[in-house]
Chains A and B, each alone.
Chain A
Amino acid sequence: MSLATAPPGTGSGLRTRTPVAAARKRKDRLMTGLLLLAMTLALIPIILIVYQVVLRGFGAMTWNFLTSTQLFSQRTEGGGYLNGLFGTLYMLVIAIIVAVPLGIGTATFVVEYSDSKLSPVIRFFTDVMTGVPSIFIGLYIYALLVQGRVGISIGFSTLAGGLSLSLLMLPIVARASEEVLRLVPDDLRNAAYGLGARRWQVVTRTVLPAASSGLITGSMLAVGRAAGETAPLLLTALGAFAIVFDPVNAPQSALPLIIYNEARGPFDAAHTRAWAGALELMLLVLILTIIARTVNRNSELER
């Protein structure tokens, strides 16, 4: 420990204020001021973002915008992102169906079967997977399923988009679930074993129910992350102008995709819609986050 390097001037008397002590005091004030400055600078972006999105998005977010689908021309005013909202929700449902059971299963294996040699390996690679760039997940699904590398070809589609989102969510769900499962007290497990329960009974009837609200929270946070993701969808869902129900071989739209396309163009009408779309997307993420946190508040396991 570098405590041995006592600050200069500590030898001076307590009552008298030496020049050294005054200088140290000044330095302390200066540094505290700098830290406050860093804090303030870090707060400015979030204020600016929320302010701009609400200011510009709110006016454009009319009933018509919320209930109509996209127009073919970016130049014209009117139209809305209903097709994108539908596509986003559709793909999120697919992503949840795939990622949540797999993620919770992975976490359960890592925590409850920590005697297995595979367990730490899986844990490490779940961590690694959180770092995979989202665009690369898109490329993977494209190479594997859109092109049909392994004999199944689903084309640019809702399913391809949903699967790419599920791969994005999987490590997040697994990591969050793992933290929650570790919070379940061992007393509960021991009590269940004491009653003669088998291991699978202990896990399914005691551990998972005890952790359920935390597991939901973790999953919802992952859904919130996936809802705003654009990059993998460019390579898997591609985009569409109408509401698409067909899960395979039909390109699908998504809110972030439309925002991206309309923001890049030069047209004011498109930019106005893009702000409204951004507000819609942020509200969607916000709702998911609020649900996640409310469920957690009712949890018996406090962090």
Chain B
Amino acid sequence: MTTTTDTQSGAPQPPRVGEKRSVADKWFRRGLAIAGGSVLLILATMLIFTVIDAWPVFRHQGFSFITSSTWDPGVSRTEVTGQYGALAFIVGTLVTAGIALVIAVPLSIGTALYLTQVAHRRVRNPLTYAIELLAAVPSVVYGLWGLLFFVPTVLRPAMDFIAETLGGFIPFLAPPVITYNYFAAGVVLSIMILPIITAVTREVMSKTPASEVAAAYALGATRWEMMRSVVLPRARPGMIGATMLGLGRALGETIAVAMLIGGSKQIGDSIFKGGQSMAGIIAVTFQEAAPENVKALIGIGVVLFIITIVVNMLARAIVLLTGGHVTGDAAV
């Protein structure tokens, strides 16, 4: 699939012979350019206005905004009086996203391999559709489902078991288990990013040249040996890109994480303790926040924005450079 990567193969251009642009043509083009330019304008003003708003807090706090974990908001309308160290929330975001990736990536790759290489033609489409359906579930429904059913009923016994058996040797798995914690948020997050990673990985895997597959079989390879020596090496860059797209999604997810992470403002010393994420603290405390606190929350938003944009740009670049193509309903 080269259509989107190759800018040369755009729509055909009008003939150049005796060309005299009409006024309508000129204005039509301008109108479309303005529509397209609005994207650039919005992205630029996004950064500018939020940074301006958050500037007093950045100046007051300096680097300790991201290195301190003392979050003690003030109530002033005009000046900055509180302590704003967002480290605990940065840790919460990174830990939950990390847990989500550790679970979702192997599962997605396995699912994509199954769908492209093993599944019978007749079941392939329904199964693919079922996985993509996960992307259509609103995040507040994930939150509700996790809060009232999945975490207390299904996950709690599993967490207790892990903490009791492995908690003795591995410090960050130690009991006691709080029901809503980093791990619970991470597991639900992994379900949410599964469809996008699967969709992109599947896309890349389906591009494996049939001749190479046939060659592997002709050399006597079993199906698994064929997958390991032909499909997986070719798909590797695409899988890295897919993982990073999933990471971008996981870092920015707000409501489901805010509902399941527990809401503690300290850094938990185990993944079974409560915490808070960057997006979560904004969602949970924004409505009751004093003006200076709002500025600090906008500051957290700026840091989150920069992290996710960098991750996303890297991901898209990797996928594009390797000839892949991010597509499907799940991918947008």
Contact = CB atoms under 8 A, between A and B. Distances in A.
Contacts of A46: 130-131, 133-134, 137
A190 B12 CA distance: 7
Contacts of B298: 139, 142-143
A247 interface: no
Contacts of A25: 222
A3 B312 contact: no
Contact of B283 (A125, A135, A190): A135
B50 A131 contact: no
B28 interface: yes
A234 B224 contact: no
A249 B110 CA distance: 50
A70 to B, nearest CB: 16
Interface residues of A, number: 117
Contacts of B45: 140, 144
B36 A110 contact: yes
The main secondary structure of chain A at its interface with chain B is helix
Given A133-B251, A144-B45, A105 B308 contact: no
A260 B36 contact: no
B198 interface: yes
B35 A106 contact: yes
Interface string A147-190: 10100000000000000000100111011101101101010011
A112 B309 contact: no
Interface of A: 1-3, 5-7, 10, 24-25, 27-28, 31-32, 34-39, 41-43, 45-46, 48-49, 52-53, 101-102, 104-106, 108-116, 118-122, 124-137, 139-140, 142-144, 147, 149, 167, 170-172, 174-176, 178-179, 181-182, 184, 186, 189-190, 193, 198-200, 202-204, 207, 221-222, 224-225, 227-231, 234-235, 238, 256, 259-260, 263-264, 271, 274-275, 278, 281-282, 285-286, 289
Given A114-B7, A131-B245, 15 more contacts: A35-B114, A37-B110, A48-B149, A108-B32, A114-B10, A114-B11, A128-B309, A131-B252, A134-B254, A135-B252, A143-B50, A167-B42, A174-B39, A260-B143, A263-B144
Interface of B: 3-4, 7, 10-15, 22, 24-25, 28-29, 31-40, 42-43, 45-46, 49-50, 52-53, 106-111, 113-115, 117-119, 127, 130-131, 133-134, 136-145, 147-150, 154, 191, 194, 198, 212, 215-216, 219-225, 227, 229-230, 233, 245, 248-249, 251-255, 259, 279, 282-283, 286-287, 297-298, 301, 304-305, 308-309, 311-313, 316, 326-327, 329, 332
16 contacts: A2-B233, A38-B111, A46-B133, A53-B145, A109-B35, A109-B36, A127-B312, A131-B311, A133-B301, A134-B254, A139-B282, A170-B38, A200-B28, A274-B144, A274-B148, A281-B140
